[in-house]
Structure 1
Amino acid sequence: MKPVVPLILTLSAFFSSSTLAEVSYRIDLTDSKHHLAKVEVDFPESASSDLKINLPVWRTGKYQVLPLADGIRYFSVKDQAGNHLPYTRTASGEWTVELAEPTAVTVNYQLYANQLGQRVGHIDGTHAFLDASGTLVYSPEFQEQEIKVELAVPDAWKSYSGMDSGALPNSFMASNYDVLVDSPIETGISHHRAFSADGRDYELVVWGEGNYDIEQMVTDLTKLSGQAGAIWDGYPFERYVYMVHATSGVRGATEHLNSTVIQRPRFSYREREDYLGFIKTASHEFIHTWNVKAYRPQGLVPYDYQKENISELLWIAEGSTSYFQSQLLLRAGVITPKEFFEDLAKRIAQSENTPGREVQSVKEASVGKWASTGGDYAVNHSANIYSEGYLASLALDFSLLNDTDLDHSYRDVHKALYKQHKIPAGYSVSDVNQILKDLSGEDYQQWWQTHVNSPMSLDFTSLLENAGLKPGYGDDSKATAYAGVKLGGDSLKLSEVLRDGPAWNAGIVLGDEIVAIDGLKVTGKGFESRIKDFKPGAEVVVSLFSDDRLKEITLKLGEKQSGKLKLLSVDKPSRDQKAFFKAWLGIDWPFDNKGKLKSDS
């Protein structure tokens, strides 16, 4: 019988030798079809008796602990003479290596990367996406060392990253591990475009086939990228890379120091509503390059990759980013005023139909984000740092505009955060309040207590009137019956039962399965249409399975308006309201004298 040859072999045949002055990574992707790679890492000489080797337990932009180290096998460590060194697994993302004497150390391991949706690593026959947090180990002892990354890839592949290119093809350089972990690599068969905006270089890299128009993407990303000056003075980068995965079964995005990765279903670009989802995501991640990457709250500075990073200001990091994303697109002319209003109206309606906003503050939601699980309980008992953080940002913006007679807006708060609290500094609640006081001359501590430290309740009619707007449903809207539940797709099993809604008060609970209304069978999505057959206030008998037991429950229907919430012009908007509108959004009043949007006329 022939001896079994270990999968992990030295990669020296593929790569140039490294120097001891840096940490060197060599990644062999030449046989990638089974999601596997071979990784070799050289660390400089260490005098420690116990050298820690770590893989993060989370990635930046993800407020959740992940089992990232499960993708590592055939882990081995050698000294500079090639002798194997003993090690112990001391934590989920940690190996402790015993050193009898000072020596340089080489680590080898097999990497399995098939977590595309988590955006920590994905390798197949067409590409590899490598986020260092899920793929490349580091040692805290050498975290500040310069880094070299070399890839061995199939001949047809090309490699891209926000990092500087190295001397060899498919190689990159980083000043330290913090830069490496925030500069993912996309290598493979992809579409590539380069463009510039406001004196900065940009690249668009798209992996995967789909119904996207890459030239339209470049046009709109160019317009978006030129709008940074509307908020900040200066850039934290010279070159920026938009990475896009057009694929199946996953969606989402992650911000990085000098790049972003955006994942969308491959056929979700042609229709305008779908394309807006893409370009808004791109705007969100671009804004993060300042808000989170260039400045971020204390508690997230510096990153501790081996445990949760807690902050009560995640609503600013995420919610304020969401708040600005459509504003930059509106200023750039990428979206229309109508599309902006539709987005804001949808957010207001969503908040009004989320009982959790009455229970949890955005401060508490920020601190608890690492433990949040989503679902029915979150809707009923939690605030969301993105959606409620957006509305807290809106309220703060309007308050600041009023307190400064339109001289300053919430954009100036972020301009000051970028100027005064760049990384490695972090900002605190008192820092934000001081900026607000410097801009307005007012003490915002009571505002903070009401809107941030306490569950937030906003009067949107009064708030939007400042800008000459009002929420409404249009002339064709009418009162319709309402049950206060959400179904799980095509199933009649309930995925949400809104707290204090009609179904909740009747005793209907999460997981119940509707089978009939007033003795007549309900199928598929027929539940909602059947409910509309009744008038608000009517009582119906709902037959359902609850924990596999058939029950009949009398449900008194509530009332809601039909159609979607809209933002309309107030009657006879004043000159002050139009001025407020322009100071807020940076565009002229978009309605004609009859209250219709000029673009629709």
Structure 2
Amino acid sequence: MRKSLLAVGVMLAPSIVLANTDYKIDLTQPEHHKGEVSITFPASDAKFLDVKMPAWRTGYYRILNLANGVRDFDAQSNGEELRWEKVDKSTWRVYLPEDSGEVTVDYEIYANQLGRRSRHIDDTHAYLDASAVFMYADAWRNEPVSVSLDVPGEWKSYSGMERDGAHQFSAANWDVLVDSPIETGINKHYEFTQDDRDYEVVFWGEGNYDAEKTVEDLQKLVTTGDSIWSSYPFERYVFMIHATTGAGGATEHKNSTIIQRPRYSFASRDDYLSFMSTASHEFVHTWNVKAYRPDGLVPYDYQKENYTDLFWIAEGSTSYFQNHLLLQAGIMEPSEYFERVATGIDRYRAKPGREVMSVAEASFEAWIDQYGDRAHNDSVNIYSEGALVSWMLDSELLKATDGKVSYRDVHNALYQRFDADEQGFTSADVLTILKDLTGESWQDWWQENVESPVADIPFESMLKQVGLELVYEQGKKEDEDESEAEKVWAGWSASEASGGMELTRVSKGSPAWEAGFTPGDVIVAYDGHTVVDGRFKEAFAEYKAGDSIEVTFFRRDQLHKKTLTVQPTPATDAKIEPLDEPTAEQKARFLQWLQIPHPNA
């Protein structure tokens, strides 16, 4: 059961004062991406102490082998050097004498992984995710910790942890530390209070962002949490924003988030909405993943993969809700939301993998990095397809209960019933919640749409239910101008290469697939004409459906020829439009779905 924040605070306050494990890092010479770490563990009567560095970090489900940044490890107790050995890739075993006191381990950490949002140190800042910087010992994992930073004089330090000084923090245990990244350096800092909760926004790096506008909209965003959940799981939250080069992405944490964007990708409306969607995604994660999460992730095991068939809920449902909150906050317009949903529909219908893999299977396989054509032709994505299955479930719930129950109610029930510090939820738990909310079994629906591939989502009927329609711009143009030539399709994607264009993807079942083309082929000529001038797309558009093209290409540095028969371009350019005269029921369902009035209400 979920504890109140007040109860948690009362219970943890004494432990934070009596911190047992002390972490220190010296960042006073950051130019070469290095820091000096010192950790003091409490005394123990054990024969040895295993000190570990995680193999991965939360929010990025890949084995990263983070111990690769450690050098010059040593251990001492009572002023004496202790014998140690490395027993696996991430574990240092320190042997303890009978009279050992506190144990201090020291090591150098190399931190130049900005894009992975794990650790980065340079002459302007340090971003420290504890999973990639600070080791832990299982014996003391649940005990309080303190962290102190030695930094250049002009640097300022921020974290979601409790602040004990300008560059000092404390937490109830290592698991809070590992979920509370630290941003220290030359930065811009803003703060505001909303509904008695404190928020901070920290910018590192120069770019074309409008800091004041961003903070203003983040303040609007954080008011929307109660549209889904019955309470907030934090009293203080920190947005960390990196405007940089060569890095992009974001990661959720228990009391904060880190968002990275190319430094000149904030100003345009599309870029700004993309940024705000990311911020909203990570904010949703404060509940979905950080407050409650699937059973396979409770507790986090940082030494190996944590498997679950519910990553599609952890990530896909978060993606589904993220723009709902922007709509409710007035940050995104309905037309802008419809455009993004339509793009998702186009991508789904163009992905052959939807006929092969279920979202449950994609969840279990999330730790495997899909590559090449497999990601497109044989797989689905826990984010994009997970969001679409979430939408399907939301639509079915609204329909089955005459608008009385929505997918928001499912997530609020998960929040109320499962505390991620104690217990995770299973598929059976979600089905129990669905039955409790509706009085009906959802087992068959789950089998058909979660545990089986969903080759055809009924978008048209789902949209009609809420007073919207799906149209295709390409079809409209052809109706309006019958003389317009029909566009043709090969089913490949390519990038420019020396002497031609290199195929990067070939869709299963497409003309290019049937002709035998594969990624890596370098197209150099068509019907005897060179493609070096980069005008192949324009020339390709001159062909008609059914035409055969002799394509010359290199494979394994050898010249080949194949015949490609092009076909009509599948329906693309989906667009969602509001019905001019929606019924009262459609308007009511739209409001129940998105929590805003129908555009033509």
Q: TM-score range by the shorter chain?
A: over 0.9
Out of 456, 470, 483, the position equivalent to 2:490 is 483
Q: 1-side partners of 2:534 and 2:574: how far apart?
A: 23
Shift of 1:489: 5.7
Verify the 8 A CA contact 1:20 1:43 in the aligned structure 2. no
The Cα offsets for residues 169-199 of structure 1, whole Å up to 9 and x where unpaired, read as: 2000010000000000000000111012232
Supply the AA of the counterpart residue of 1:532.
A
2:114 maps to what in 1? 116
Deviates more, 1:225-234 or 1:519-528: 519-528
Contact 1:492–1:524 (CA under 8 A) maintained in structure 2: no
Structure 2: distance between partners of 1:26 and 1:264: 29
Question: Secondary structure of the equivalent of 1:535?
Answer: coil
The answer for the alignment partner of 1:389 in structure 2 is: 386
> Equivalent residue of 1:470, what SS?
strand
Q: Which residue of 1 aligns with 2:148?
A: 150
SS of alignment partner, residue 451 of structure 2: coil
| Residues 577 and 524 of structure 1, relative CA distance in 2, 3 Å threshold | farther
Amino acid of the structure 2 residue aligned with 1:476:
K
Q: Provide, for residues 216-275 of structure 1, a one-character-per-residue CA deviation record: whole Å limited to 9, x for no partner.
A: 101111111110010001111101000001000110000000000000000001111111
TM-score with structure 1 setting the length: 0.93
Match of 2:524 among 515, 533, 538: 515
More displaced, 351-360 or 122-131?
A: 351-360
The match for 1:569 is 578
Aligned partner letter, 2:462? L
Q: Give the whole-Å Cα distance in 2 for the aligned partners of 1:581 and 1:230.
A: 15
Q: Partner of 2:157 in structure 1? A: 159
Aligned to 1:89: 86
- Partner in structure 2 of residue 433 of structure 1: 431
Tell me by how many angstroms 1:571 deviates.
Answer: 6.4
Q: Is the 8 A contact 1:404 1:439 kept in 2?
A: no
Is the partner of 2:257 in helix, strand or coil? strand
Greater shift in the superposed pair: 539-548 or 482-491? 482-491
Sequence identity percentage? 49
Write the mapping of 1:413-492 to structure 2, written as runs, cut at 5 A. 413-423=410-420, 424-457=422-455, 458-474=457-473, 475-476=476-477, 479-488=486-495, 492=501
Which residue of 279, 301, 306 maps to 2:303? Answer: 306
TM-score for both structures, normalised by structure 2: 0.93
Matched with 1:265 is 262
1:130 aligns with 2:128: yes
Q: Tell me the distance in 2 between the aligned counterparts of 1:384 and 1:172.
A: 38
Q: In structure 2, what is the Cα distance between the partners aligned to 1:447 and 1:524?
A: 52
The equivalent of 1:588 in structure 2 is: 597
Q: Distance in 2 between matches of 1:524 and 1:447?
A: 52
1:554 to 543, 560, 563: 563
- The aligned residue for residue 543 of structure 1 is 552
Can you list the C-alpha shifts for 1:119-151, whole angstroms capped at 9, x where unaligned? 110000000000000000111110011000000
Tell me, yes or no, if the aligned pair for 1:322 and 1:390 is still in contact at 8 Å.
yes
Is the Cα contact below 8 Å between 1:20 and 1:44 reproduced in 2? no
Per the TM alignment, residue 510 of structure 1 is displaced from its structure 2 partner at its CA by 1.3
Where does 1:121-270 land on structure 2 (aligned, <5 Å)? 121-166=119-164, 168-270=165-267
Aligned residue type for 2:487: T
Instruction: Check if 1:72 corresponds to 2:70.
Output: yes
CA change 1:21–1:271 in 2 (3 A) is closer
- Per-residue displacement from partner, 1:483-516 (whole Å, max 9, x unpaired)? 1111136671111000111100111111101111
Counterpart amino acid of 1:485? W
Check conservation: 1:480, 1:561, Cα contact below 8 A. Answer: no
What's the counterpart of residue 494 of structure 1?
503
- CA shift in 2, pair 1:524/1:374, >3 Å: farther
Match of 2:10 in 1: none
Q: In structure 2, do the counterparts of structure 1 residues 359 and 328 end up closer, same or farther at CA, with 3 Å as the change threshold? A: same
CA distance in 2, matches of 1:90, 1:453: 40
- Cα offset, 1:524, TM superposition: 6.3
Aligned equivalents of 2:265 and 2:19: distance in 1?
Answer: 47
Q: Counterpart of 2:9?
A: none
Deviation at 1:438, TM superposition (A): 1.2
Point out where structure 2 has 5 or more consecutive residues left out of the alignment: 1-15, 479-483
Aligned-partner Cα distance in 2 for 1:278–1:99: 50
What does residue 46 of structure 1 align with? Answer: 44
Distance (Å, rounded) in 1 between the aligned partners of 2:372 and 2:225 = 35
CA distance in structure 2 between the partners assigned to 1:525 and 1:485 by the alignment: 16
Does the C-alpha gap of structure 1 residues 213 and 466 become closer, same or farther in structure 2, counting only changes over 3 Å? same
The change in CA–CA distance for 1:197 and 1:35 in structure 2 (over 3 A counts) is same
- 1:552 CA drift (Å): 1.4
Q: In the alignment, what sits opposite 2:376?
A: 379
Deviations 1:342-386 (A, max 9, x none): 110111111111111110000000011111333321111011000
Deviation at 1:316, TM superposition (A): 0.0
1:318 matches 2:315? yes
Q: Which amino acid aligns with 2:489?
A: Y
Preserved CA contact (<8 Å) 2:342 2:576? yes
Report if the CA contact (8 A) 1:540-1:556 is conserved: yes
Q: What 5-or-longer segments of structure 1 have no aligned partner?
A: 1-17, 593-601
1:374 and 1:524 map into 2 onto residues whose CA distance is 30
Q: Supply the distance in 2 between the matched residues of 1:249 and 1:562 (Cα, whole angstroms).
A: 35
- Residue 292 of structure 1, aligned match among 289, 292, 298: 289
Q: What one-letter code is carried by the residue in structure 2 that aligns with 1:509?
A: T
Structure 1 Cα separation of the partners of residues 337 and 288 of structure 2? 21
Distance 2:343 2:600 in 1: 20
In structure 2, the CA distance between the partners of 1:562 and 1:389, relative to structure 1 (3 Å rule), is: closer
Letter in 1 for 2:180: S
Q: Which whole-Å CA distance do the structure 1 matches of 2:533 and 2:446 have between them? A: 46
Conserved in 1, the CA contact under 8 Å of 2:47 and 2:97? yes
Name the CA shift for 1:20/1:415 in 2 (closer, same or farther; >3 Å): closer
Q: What is the number of residues matched between the two proteins? A: 573
Note if contact 1:297-1:428 (Cα within 8 Å) is conserved in structure 2: yes
8 Å contact from structure 1 (residues 20, 104) kept in 2? no
Which residue of 1 is the match for residue 25 of structure 2?
27
